Structure 1
Amino acid sequence: MKKFLVIAALVLGATGVNAQTDDDAATLTKVGQQSPVFEFNAEKQKTASIDSYKGKIVMLNFFATWCPPCRMELPRVQKEIWDKYKDNPKFALMVFGREEGWDKVLPFKTANNYTFNILPDEGRKVFGLFAKQSIPRNVILDEEGKIIYQSTGYSEQEFNKLLALLDARLKKPQP
């Protein structure tokens, strides 16, 4: 199994996994729509609502610990997004392990030295509001909770578009 995952990751890394468009049959939301309202486990004993993040640019990332393209994307999320914007009060990052509980996401976070929160999404409760299938999946919400970007799959080109959008929205104003 490990050999298969390594080979799959190498093949996917060489060719990329192209992002899919909003009209993808698996995607339930569209750019320009308000985000579905949902609650999630922010900590083991604490829930939060997406509504409490209004006023911030919010990036939602849906992944699975077993997914090779997700494993290629998450190090970039750490280095190029979280490390850059974690101290920006106008930014929030939520990384959801689709169909995975605390028992899977916490050891995965530790093993990969990620410093951003990885949250469980057992039963696809959050993911299912945005899509039927396909990961990795990224969604960016503006300060009013409107979807301003979404992508499926991983490719360097599409990830670079996501980075450019975040940079444009979160760049500190010049004095």
Structure 2
Amino acid sequence: MNRPALLLIVALMLTVCPIFAVEDVNQEVKKNTLVEVGQMAPDFTCKTTDSRTITLSALKGKAVVLYFFSTSVGACITEMQYLEKEIFQKLLNRHDFQLIAIGRGHSREELVRIGGENKITFSLVPDPKQEVYQRYFSKFVPQTVVVRKDGGIAYLASGSRESAGIADLQAALQVVLR
């Protein structure tokens, strides 16, 4: 095979192969997502790092963002900082909004440290045995869920997308906070 033809084949492979890899990841994420947009959000009760008890079903009438994370994925901390600045601080005074970050596999002590070091002021919930996480997902973090005021799921997002993901989340919240 001549060199120009070989270069063309290699260029085509490099162009097409990443598409297959992304599609494989998307299929894997979907396979490990146990909830769907439109269904009622699985209920749970948990304790925040400041010892408040939260029951999701008791938050009806509020739009709730659930952010599942783990510090083993470095981008989660960066995304939580975006959530703090671009979502939580902007909606802080709304009585119909709640943001809860659920630390998959994390203890209360770890989350107190993480919250303090990163100036996170929204609710942090330890989930050391992944009991809350496993109601929604079986694999992968970060994961974001927006629960409508009636308790139904309005939005799901997987992976760290930082500022681009925050824009998508803001758009979803505009709809549910009308």
Q: Confirm or deny a common fold (TM above 0.5).
A: yes
State the TM bucket, normalised to the shorter chain: 0.7 to 0.9
The runs of 4+ residues in structure 1 deviating greater than 2 Å are 17-23, 42-48, 156-159, 167-171
- Quote the Cα distance in structure 2 between the aligned partners of 1:21 and 1:158: 19
Residues 31-84 of structure 1: CA deviation (Å, up to 9, x unaligned): 000011111113565433111100000000011123112122111100000100
- Unaligned segments of structure 2, at least 5 residues: 1-21
Does the alignment pair 1:168 with 2:167? no
| Residue 153, structure 1, aligned to residue 173, structure 2 | no
What percent identity do the matched residue pairs reach?
28
What are the residue-to-residue correspondences of 1:136-151 with 2, within 5 Å? 136-151=142-157
- Residues of 1 paired with 2:91 and 2:132: CA distance? 23
> Does 2:129 align with 1:134?
no
1:73 and 2:86 are equivalent in the alignment: no
Give the corresponding residue for 1:29: 35
Q: CA deviation at 1:95?
A: 0.6
For 1:112, the equivalent position in structure 2 comes to 118
Question: Root-mean-square deviation (CA), in Å?
Answer: 2.3
Q: Tell me the TM-score normalised to structure 1 length.
A: 0.80
Which residue of 1 is the match for residue 130 of structure 2? 124
Structure 1 segments unaligned to the other structure (5+ residues): 1-16
Provide the residue aligned with 1:63 in structure 2: 69
Q: Quick check: which one's helix share is greater? A: 2
The DSSP-based 3-state class of the residue aligned with 1:133 is coil
Aligned pair count?
A: 155
**2:29, 2:142 → 1: CA distance?**
17
- Cα distance in 2 for residues equivalent to 1:111 and 1:67: 17
Name the larger-Rg structure: 2
Is 1:93 paired with 2:91?
no
TM-score when normalising by structure 2: 0.79
User: What residue is the counterpart of 1:11 in the other structure?
Assistant: none
